[in-house]
Amino acid sequence: TQGGITSMFNLLALFLFALGLGGLLQESGILKTFLDTFFSRVNSVQTLVPTSMVASYIGTAILGTASASIALVGTMLKPLYKKQRLKPQNLSRLMEDTATQGAVAIPWNGNAIFAAAALGVAPLTFMPFLFLAFFTPIFTLLYGWTGFTMLKMDEEEEQEVD
C-alpha cells in the first residue's frame, strides 16, 4: 500500500473500540466498582502512590489507550489526592509515569500497536528496550514513600482546587 489514512484504519478502529469500551465501563459503573476496592484502603501518601500506580496500569490495560486511562482513572483519583492535600501536579506526574510510559509495554495497547507498526516489529520484540517505562515506576514509588517531590497544597490552594 501507499500509506495514508487507509493503512492506519486498523489502528484507528482499535482506538475507537477502546474509547467505546472505556465509555461503556465508565457509564455502567464497572470500572468505578473495580477501582473503589483499591481506593478504600488509601489513608496516607505512602499508600496512595502505589494504589494510584496499580489503578493506572489496570486502567491502561483494560481501556487499551493511555489517554482513556488518564481521563478515567485520573478523574477518580483526584479527590483522593485532594484529601491528602497533594497538589494536582503530583497526580499528573504519576499518570504520566505510569499510564503514558507504561502503555507501550502492554502489547494490546494502542500505543504499543502504533510503535510496533512504526518500527515494523511485533510489540514484544521491543519490550527489552523500554528502559524508561521500567525504571520510572521505581522512582515514582520511592518519591511516594519518602514524600520527596510530593508537593502539598496550602489552605488557599486547597480552596482554588474546588
The grid coordinates of residue 130 equal 523500554
**pTM, entire model:** 0.78
Report the alpha-carbon distance of residue 96 to residue 99 in Å, rounded.
6
Cβ contact 50:141 at 8 Å: yes
Q: Which amino acid is at 161?
A: V
The grid coordinates of residue 115 equal 510503535
Centroid of chain to Cα 100: 6
pLDDT tens profile 42-83: 889 999 999 999 989 998 998 888 888 888 888 888 888 998
pLDDT, position 132: 94
Beta bridge partners of 86: 152
Report the alpha-carbon distance of residue 147 to residue 93 in Å, rounded.
14
pLDDT, position 162: 63
pLDDT tens profile 9-49: 877 777 677 677 767 877 898 877 876 776 788 889 999 99
- The CA-to-CA distance between both ends of the chain, in Å, stands at 52
Report the mean per-residue pLDDT for the chain: 86
Side-chain half-sphere exposure of 162, counting CA atoms within 13 A = 5
The grid coordinates of residue 117 equal 507498526
